[in-house]
Amino acid sequence: EIIVVVAYGKIIPPRILALPPVGCINVHASLLPKYRGAAPIQWALINGERKTGITTMMMDEGLDTGGILLQEELAIENEDNALTLSKKLADLGSTLLVQTLNSLYAQTLQPVPQKGEATFAPPLKKESGMIDWKRSAEEIHNLVRGTYPWPGAFFFLKDEKVTVLSTAVADEENGHLPGRIAEIRNREVLVSAGTGLLSVIELRPQGKQSMDAASFARGRRLQKGSLLEA
């Protein structure tokens, strides 16, 4: 009677869409029409959004273009990354899906056309996580959040790929060139960005276990002024 699609990365062909009498519905992890596509959770974080949500919608032949059934917002917390936010949205999505199904069968719910400007969330690639130290500290921090756990935000140090797992935007003033270490203290390394300082807290060298950033810096004999790039 009905087909439900969740996190399916391909376009459903018209002959399948036409099969169920009630129709095909999709549970999408954004507030459509924002972030249509395969990676809405990741791009919401990368772009520094403060809220996202779940949309249930009737499927058509387009990419997340069908009529909206139900929507519910969810605040994005400062500590959220793509993994934690995915779990929150999965819980919200399952609840909203049940409400949608019940309302459809009670014939109390009708799809509403999407309104507003559409934005897109294309699939991430391995190279999507490459850190550009010329970006602002906040932008790099959001990249780390949005690409965790895959593909991961990373930089190269003497041909060694280093994946950054956890960061924060530091309050201190930035007086250094982008990519240079401003300070090493306790477990963190403060790195100069295009604007502001980024506190690198945890990272994982290629082929090794994760560690705090200060231990990594000391092990590589890095010091204040060292440049974090190949």
Rounding to the nearest 10 degrees, give the CA dihedral for residues 71, 101, 27, 145: 70
Length of the chain: 230
Please enumerate in sequence order all residues whose Cβ is within 8 A of that of 194, keeping only pairs 6 or more positions apart, or say none: 133, 134, 135, 136, 178
At 41, the amino acid letter reads I
- pLDDT tens string, the chain, 230 residues long: the values are 999 999 887 889 999 999 999 999 999 999 999 999 999 999 999 999 999 999 999 999 999 999 999 999 999 999 999 999 999 999 999 999 999 999 999 999 999 999 999 999 999 999 999 999 999 999 999 999 999 999 999 999 988 999 999 999 998 877 789 999 999 999 999 999 999 999 999 999 999 999 999 999 999 999 999 999 75
Question: Which pTM was predicted?
Answer: 0.95
Query: How many CB atoms are closer than 10 A to CB 124?
Result: 18
User: What is the per-residue pLDDT for 175?
Assistant: 76
User: What is the per-residue pLDDT for 230?
Assistant: 57
**How many angstroms separate the Cα of 185 from the Cα of each of 131, 191, 197, 204?**
22, 12, 14, 18
At 76, the amino acid letter reads I
